[in-house]
């Protein structure tokens, strides 16, 4: 019998990794599956807040370091890698604990969906909608569509910003062509948990994390490494929030305080979009790490897992 997945989601910097590691240790044998779209990039640990060996406490984490910075990597690519990992874990009788803040990854894995009807990533949609608000920006997006999918682009009204953005969203999820999107596999049983904290508390946590990234010089060093690989500003910026700001700091366009404040504003915006995504999923049980102790939260999660294990499955 395959164990139901344990899924831990929520906005960035809400404590997902620590809870996932503790749950995996309590449910051993169990291993983590990363569901953060930035942490799939090789060589980028500080700016993406990828879990360190010390944070993992010996628990294995899959789906990190899957693609080089700048390399095309779609939701379909992640989904294929995740399913391969799940097959190996299932054969070994090991539970999978999925942890991350990329809602589209989690939705794809848990539900299966018709990629032609893939839900939008709210952050990327907001960015593209802002760009498409000008004729020049819409032309840029239409050019991206033609470059990525010449045949499919011919079927899209490239003067219609909504249709151009939607076509790009399908390509983000599927890769290939928008004409070849197809349905994936059946839903996977899962215990679904989400974390969130009061906005004022969350802002302090995010501010502390960002200060550590910049004060240590870690994210600046990662930007220099990316520059050494010959990557341009656009690719560096696409690696995650904070990389464009660190590049501006290195180039002298911002001072340290301005770079951190700009990163803070973008991170808070991203967290709002993540909340919007996850709040619409009624299957999630929410925990507040700012209101209850870590041990109480872990106990609550383990109780949910135990209850799911005793529920009869369909066909049993």
Nearest to 98 by CA among 158, 20, 181, 197: 20
- Taking phi over 0 as left and psi of -120 to 50 as alpha, with beta for the rest, 229 belongs to alpha
CA torsion angle 281 296 63 41 (round to 10): 90
The answer to whether 36 touches 229, Cβ cutoff 8 Å, is no
**Percent of the chain beyond pLDDT 70?**
92
Token representation of residue 15: 């404590």
pLDDT digits 0-9 by tens, 10-54: 999 999 999 999 999 999 999 999 999 999 999 999 999 999 999
Give the chain's domains with CATH numbers.
5-113+187-197+274-310 (3.40.50.300), 122-180 (1.10.20), 200-272 (1.10.287)
H or E element that contains 167: helix 161-174
Dig out the tokens for 3 from the structure. 């164990």
The predicted pLDDT at position 152 comes to 75
- Whole-number pLDDT of residue 3: 85
With tokens 């102790």, the residue in question is: 293
Q: In this predicted structure, which of 17-26, 153-162, 262-271 has the lowest mean pLDDT?
A: 153-162
What pLDDT does 201 receive? 97
When the pLDDT of each residue in the chain is averaged and rounded to a whole number, the result is 89
More confident residue, 178 or 146: 146
């Amino acid at each position: 019998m395959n164990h139901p997945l344990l899924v831990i989601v929520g906005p960035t910097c809400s404590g997902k990794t620590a809870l996932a590691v503790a749950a995996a240790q309590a449910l051993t044998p169990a291993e983590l599956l990363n569901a953060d779209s930035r942490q799939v990039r090789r060589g980028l640990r500080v700016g993406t807040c990828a879990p360190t060996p010390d944070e993992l406490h010996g628990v294995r984490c899959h789906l990190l370091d899957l693609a080089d910075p700048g390399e095309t990597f779609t939701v379909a690519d992640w989904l294929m890698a995740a399913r391969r990992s799940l097959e190996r874990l299932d054969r070994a009788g090991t539970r999978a604990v999925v942890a991350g803040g990329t809602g589209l990854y989690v939705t794809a894995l848990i539900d299966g969906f018709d990629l032609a009807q893939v839900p939008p990533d709210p952050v990327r949609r907001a960015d593209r909608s802002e760009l498409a608000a000008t004729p020049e920006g819409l032309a840029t997006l239409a050019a991206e569509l033609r470059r990525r999918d010449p045949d499919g682009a011919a079927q899209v009204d490239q003067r219609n910003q909504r249709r151009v953005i939607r076509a790009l969203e399908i390509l983000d999820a599927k890769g290939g062509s928008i004409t070849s999107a197809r349905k994936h596999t059946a839903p996977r049983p899962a215990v679904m948990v989400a974390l969130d904290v009061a906005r004022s508390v969350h802002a302090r946590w995010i501010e502390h994390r960002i200060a550590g990234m910049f004060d240590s010089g870690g994210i600046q060093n990662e930007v220099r490494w990316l520059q050494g690989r010959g990557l341009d500003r656009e690719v560096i910026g696409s690696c995650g929030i904070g990389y464009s700001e660190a590049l501006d700091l290195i180039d002298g366009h911002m001072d340290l305080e301005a770079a951190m404040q700009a990163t803070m504003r973008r991170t808070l915006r991203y967290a709002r979009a993540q909340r919007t995504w996850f709040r619409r999923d009624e299957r999630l049980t929410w925990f507040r790490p700012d209101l209850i102790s870590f041990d109480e939260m872990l106990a609550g999660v383990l109780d949910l897992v135990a209850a799911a294990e005793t529920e009869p499955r369909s066909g049993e």
